Chain A
């Protein structure tokens, strides 16, 4: 299996001098195409930093990052912008929808920014797919958290990114909404071969992934394939303990 995202000896440091913090300390990881990987670890283990670096949102201090077949380690802004339009999708804990746009407009936005004409049918079909056929013209603040997250997922579905990055996608949701969102992500992987890299705290969410990677103090410390929620919780408890 080829990698959608690959990190080689990635180091990320923040600050200078005495205040220097090493958030990632030589991380090497492959995220295989068409699979869903969960990244777990205690608070401050570098999970979010890993995601930001892998998605090209942040520059690494050392090491190399490959994304969708390209070396993005020192890629200029134009290249990264282009990647964000076509190859990368984001789903965040706080949804990150544009407040002034309707659900429909939010979904069509990345393609419009890329200068691609978006058939209305397609946008509506995708919103129907996430169960929001009757919420097309609603603005984010008129939607519940779960609905907002589904809009964000619909946005990722319509662009069909090479990699979908998810940062605590269920972190702000109730358990029913969380299940819906996880079902949608699972379906994307199973039906269209979507690659997902997801950072999470929640063992239940992690158990839906194909593989779980554990991080601690900026290093990869463990790896599980197709684990149960209980196994994940046990490992996590051991790491935190």
Chain B
């Protein structure tokens, strides 16, 4: 039995090289994300760091850990999905061989054992390779996190042998699970299928496909609805879940969707002449191959477009919200000292200054019977409540900002969701002074990331500290005065950078989009690469296995160039179908959001890249597969 496995491995090395690399990359990705995640567990804070910096470092670690947690999840999902579809493909491609084995007296059990043994061998090879690949992958991931500013430069990841059982479990488990369904299906092959290519086994839409496809759709639907009322992290998680479930559903159901899509494309293809006709026929005939090729592309597009779309939409919604909540004409960025002089500029009716002050506030939290204290260092803003309320349309969810006088504090939108005890006065530390503050108001939540944590009255802050704190002032111009003239006067007086509210809102959206792009890179950089490699992998596997078919086509009178072109047309059609279905999943993931920003640029590059890379892969593979003289291949049936 082992010699048979080994012999098959040698014979079908292209098919199995594809399977091994799918396992190896999956193991590498899971292992590196896991090791990096473990390394973020204990923030390394250098001695002598100020409280505020330490808080930022710690927040960076928490953010990175959240992202890495999602990355591990995503990597595991991709590994299962890609390895599963790759293995199913390796089994499907060998239907005749397996039926021959049945003809020679192989029992169903032996067939399953054979395929599982193969999967174990391949899984083992993939695991060893993946464990090695995982080390540079881990460095790359840590580098990316530091580079994008999530983690400080002194962050280090280390190899730990403790991850080996996990890597081995992932590699072997994924390989065996991936092949199990295909093996059980292959066991239903009848010996007669070796002689005649027909019967139930030739049916592509198996009961299992129906079951998995439809149940994933059924699970994704309520999530789309739930996405409407989720916060930032929630929306991201929903987008991820919907993209994952949708991708599985569509790739399971793709044998249903590929032929009609092929038919639609076919009307165009048939007009393109005999090659188009051939490609269309192949598309319809090789449904399983087309489905296997399209599957990783569906996942890639669904995940990247789904994520990018969700993040961009959230940023766009933030922009809409900022404009809606801000009542003003100009925004001036300066120091507290400069901001204090703004009111003297002719034409300025209201100047509402937000001072980002370097003080700390210690507040008590209570949730589910547990009580704890936490000291906040950033996001503490000093305001003049009167001016603030004239330029800010956001009103407290409880209490009133009018009472923000003296030793008081309002909980800002950034902490609105935190379980801070309202009755227990938080303690502010201002320089070396300690002040107990009464909570007078609680602001509602907003969409923007990193919104203000606490609002304190301006008079709480010593003048010296206020003067050197960074300030952001919203200016309302007096009736009749020209906004441009006022802006010019502020500039002339050298009181800081002046922008219109609209420009300022755009800049904030752009900043959030930049941050989102970094999040995308961490989350999807490696996973996207994995899925992209899987697309290439599937194309190479599909092409290399078609030598005989290509040879027959050439014997029929097609030139080598024509065969390659027909294969190119066909794979372009498959890529188009994959892009379309992936885009559909992403659209579903976005459909729950209130403001929808479609990531057109990303979609464009994704499509261009898919066609370019996929096309080049197909041409090279088909060229390679048509290298031997056609007669030698057509005569020797595989």
User: B-contacting residues of A (Cβ < 8 Å)?
Assistant: 52, 57-58, 77-78, 81-82, 84-86, 90, 92, 94, 96-102, 105, 109-110, 112-114, 139-141, 145, 155, 167
Contacts and interface: CB of A to CB of B under 8 A. Distances in A.
B433 interface: no
Interface stretch (B106-114, B377-385, B533-541): B106-114
A98 B107 CA distance: 16
B195 A92 contact: yes
Interface string B599-638: 0000000000000000000000000000000000001111
Interface stretch (B95-103, B507-515, B551-559): B95-103
B46 interface: no
- Closest A-B pairs by Cβ, 4 of them: A100-B11, A85-B105, A141-B636, A84-B105
B186 to A, nearest CB: 14
B638 A113 contact: no
B489 interface: no
A100 B12 contact: yes
B210 to A, nearest CB: 22
B8 A100 contact: yes
A83 to B, nearest CB: 8
22 contacts: A57-B103, A57-B190, A78-B107, A81-B105, A84-B103, A84-B104, A84-B105, A96-B103, A97-B100, A98-B101, A99-B97, A99-B638, A100-B10, A100-B11, A100-B97, A102-B7, A109-B4, A109-B105, A114-B105, A139-B11, A141-B636, A145-B635
B195 A96 contact: yes
B588 to A, nearest CB: 39
Nearest to B638: A99
Contacts of A57: 103, 190-192, 195
Contacts of B97: 98-100
Nearest to B114: A113
A84 to B, nearest CB: 4
Most central of B12, B191, B637 by chain A CB within 10 Å: B191
Contacts of A100: 4, 7-8, 10-12, 97
B598 interface: no
A114 to B, nearest CB: 6
A165 to B, nearest CB: 10
B344 interface: no
B104 A81 contact: no
A155 B105 CA distance: 12
A61 B102 CA distance: 22
A116 to B, nearest CB: 10
A155 B101 CA distance: 13
Interface string B1-35: 10110011011100000000000000000000000
B597 interface: no
Nearest to A140: B636
Contact of B106 (A105, A113, A145, A155): A113
B3 A113 contact: no
A99 B548 CA distance: 13
B105 A96 contact: no
B103 A81 contact: no
Contacts of A113: 101, 104-107, 110
Given A84-B191, A92-B195, 20 more contacts: A52-B192, A52-B195, A78-B107, A81-B106, A84-B102, A90-B103, A96-B103, A96-B194, A96-B195, A99-B638, A100-B4, A100-B11, A100-B97, A105-B4, A105-B7, A110-B105, A113-B104, A145-B635, A155-B104, A167-B195
A92 B637 CA distance: 13
A81 B192 contact: no
Nearest to A155: B104
A85 B107 CA distance: 9
B10 A109 contact: no
A105 B3 contact: yes
Interface in B182-206: 190-192, 194-195
A9 B11 CA distance: 45
A141 B637 CA distance: 8
A111 B106 CA distance: 10
A41 to B, nearest CB: 18
A98 B3 contact: no
A175 B191 CA distance: 30
Contacts of A110: 104-105
Nearest to A167: B195
Interface in B81-103: 97, 100-103
A155 B100 CA distance: 13
Nearest to B198: A14
Contacts of B100: 96-98
Contacts of B4: 98, 100-101, 105, 109, 112
A101 B3 CA distance: 9
Output the residue of B12, B104, B636 with the most chain A CB within 10 A.
Answer: B104
A14 B635 CA distance: 30
A58 B192 contact: yes
A81 B8 contact: no
A99 B104 contact: no
A86 B12 CA distance: 29
Contacts of A112: 1, 4
Contacts of B104: 84-85, 98, 109-110, 113, 155
B143 to A, nearest CB: 43
A97 B104 CA distance: 9
B504 to A, nearest CB: 68
Interface string B164-190: 000000000000000000000000001
A102 B636 CA distance: 15
B391 to A, nearest CB: 77
Nearest to A139: B11
A147 to B, nearest CB: 12
Nearest to A57: B192
Nearest to B9: A100
A94 B103 CA distance: 14
The interface centre, meaning the residue of B12, B100, B105, B108 with most chain A CB atoms within 10 A of its CB, is B105
A109 B101 CA distance: 9
Nearest to A108: B3
Contacts of A92: 195
A161 B8 CA distance: 26
Nearest to B190: A57
B374 to A, nearest CB: 64
B108 A77 contact: yes
Given A52-B192, A140-B636, A81 B102 contact: yes
B426 to A, nearest CB: 74
Most chain A beta-carbon contacts within 10 A, residue among B108, B110, B637, B638 = B637
Contacts of A139: 11
B98 to A, nearest CB: 10
Contacts of B636: 99, 140-141
Contacts of A52: 192, 195
Nearest to B105: A85
Nearest to B101: A98
B198 to A, nearest CB: 10
Contact of B11 (A58, A81, A99): A99
Nearest to B103: A90
Contacts of B1: 112
Contacts of A155: 104
User: Which of B101, B192, B636 neighbours the largest number of chain A CB atoms within 10 Å of its CB?
Assistant: B636
A21 to B, nearest CB: 13
Nearest to A92: B195
**Most interface-central of A97, A101, A155 (chain B CB within 10 A):** A101
B442 to A, nearest CB: 71
B279 to A, nearest CB: 27
A106 B3 CA distance: 11
Interface string B244-262: 0000000000000000000
Contacts of A82: 105
B630 to A, nearest CB: 14
A94 B11 contact: no
